[in-house]
Amino acid sequence: MRLFNKVLSVLFTATLICGVATGCGQRTKPQMGDEFEVNVNLDPQISATLTVSCDASNDEQNIIRELAKGFNKYYPNIDVKVDPMSGELVSTLMGYAGAGTMPDIFQTSSFTMLDLQETGIILSLEPYLKAEAQADEVTFTPDDFYQNFWILGQKNFNGSQLMIPRAADQVVCHYNAKIIRAASEYCKVDLEGTYIKNGWTWDDFLKVCEYVRDYYDNNGKQNNYLLDGFLDWEAVYNPILESFGVEYFDENKNCTLDCEGTRKALDLVKNLIDKRYHGAFSGSQANFAGGQGAFMFHSQDATTQIKNLAIANRMPYEDMDESYYNVVTFPIIDEKNPKIGCGVSGYSISSDSKNRDIAWAFLKFMTTKEGQNCIADAGKNYPPIRKDMKDAKNPENHWGKGLECYNMEAFVWGGDHNAITPTSFITVRPARSSDMTETIAVMIGNYVDIGYTKDKAIGKAVASLEYWLEY
């Protein structure tokens, strides 16, 4: 497949987002409105140094290095430098901006976008998207990607594209198949065959938990929890709330959190804790990674979990199979209103970059089939952002390589059901989205841990949301 378009050089005015840090008048840098020439067909022999800042983990650095190898097949004279960012991402990037040392490309995520979208440090990618759309031979289009993840890279989720996703980041239910099979034998019920399958419901999940809890309690594991649910994470609690029909604001920006759906969602979470399926809301863990827990809700890749369980079972990674680990979709409330949590990690171009066209070419390569395979070849089987790479069993799609025995479809099942970070928060008050998101987590904790009544917990949350709305 041809990677890049024919020559198209167009003059665009890229109006960068307002450099607002905490409100309309406090700016980290002046508002910028640069005119620059967009070239989506670079000379293959162009020479430059491209700096990419990413999470300091070895995994993410390896991904960038593997992408650089693939990119250099097309642009051999571009030196891609990896800058590992230590510490909190937003503060690190703002430190770079203040010091005038911004990289060409930097990593961000759906959540950190809430804090970065109004700082002025991110280049709007709209001129490049327009240029690609007007090319004689179109090889890049947003329609190639899962839209629920693509939109997470937009300002306010409804405007300029500021970030290109590197992978589909969907919450799934990882499970310890060894524990599930032991519980099945003890309870004389085929839990995997009867309940655990893509599209299973919360009723199914809770029934399995009941059996596993019984197995634990009668086999010396009374103090073990079953689930690492990360219930204070918006990618977990938001799909639960939305599944019960909760909308945080109506069309007139009136808070609508005080409703029956919120009460049902709170009771579901409390039930997980009261029945000892899950530890305290934000406290005790089941230790899934250590082989003690049966379930974990997370978007982490399967490879990481398999390695963890291999260590826990004191056996080589190569000997692991579906009898020790597997994965299934996040449970849905019912088929009428299915919701699955998700987020996204990706990369943005700095508004200060002197290599904007090269940076765009690198991000564009990342989204190609070859680029997505580079990510998998780096050792992380992140589900690809491309819809045409959904099939994990297709050998041309490397993200499923060596994992054919596992239910990898769980990572991309139900892409239309994703409940992204609450869009209503971003729509009504982008600058306070993080505060509003935290308000919901506090509400749940107040009810299930602190002992507030549902009315009191919801009432305090409504007051907080209304405060942040007007802040």
What range does the domain containing 75 cover?
9-168+345-389
Question: What's the burial of 77, exposed, middle or buried (CB within 10 Å: 0-12/13-18/19+)?
Answer: exposed
Query: Has residue 377 been placed in a domain?
Result: yes
pLDDT (tens digit, 9 = 90+) per residue, 386-399?
A: 999 999 999 999 99
pLDDT given for residue 212 in this prediction: 98
pTM, two decimals, is 0.88
Q: Which CATH number covers residue 44? A: 3.40.190.10
Residue 44 has pLDDT above 60, yes or no: yes
Query: Has residue 135 been placed in a domain?
Result: yes
pLDDT (tens digit, 9 = 90+) per residue, 439-459?
A: 999 999 999 999 999 999 999
Closest listed residue to residue 259, CA positions, set 273, 242, 271, 283: 242
Mean pLDDT of 249-253: 89
Looking at every residue in the chain, the average pLDDT score rounds to 88
Q: Tokens 């030196």 appear where? A: 79
Query: Has residue 462 been placed in a domain?
Result: no
Mean pLDDT of 334-362: 91
Higher pLDDT, 250 or 444: 444
Contacts of residues 456-461 at CB distance under 8 Å and 24 or more positions apart, as own/partner, are 457/266, 458/257, 458/258, 458/262, 458/263, 458/266, 459/258, 461/257
pLDDT given for residue 117 in this prediction: 81
Query: Has residue 126 been placed in a domain?
Result: yes
Mean pLDDT of 327-344: 87
> In angstroms, rounded to a whole number, what is the distance separating the alpha carbons of residues 406 and 375?
19
Query: Has residue 441 been placed in a domain?
Result: no
Tokens describing residue 177 = 């198949």
Query: Has residue 252 been placed in a domain?
Result: no
Q: Count how many domains the chain has.
A: 1
Q: Are the C-beta atoms of 110 and 420 separated by less than 8 Å?
A: yes
CA distances from residue 347 to 153, 165, 264, 335, 355 in whole angstroms, order as listed: 9, 7, 37, 34, 15
Residue 22 has pLDDT above 80, yes or no: no
Query: Has residue 211 been placed in a domain?
Result: no
Query: Has residue 223 been placed in a domain?
Result: no
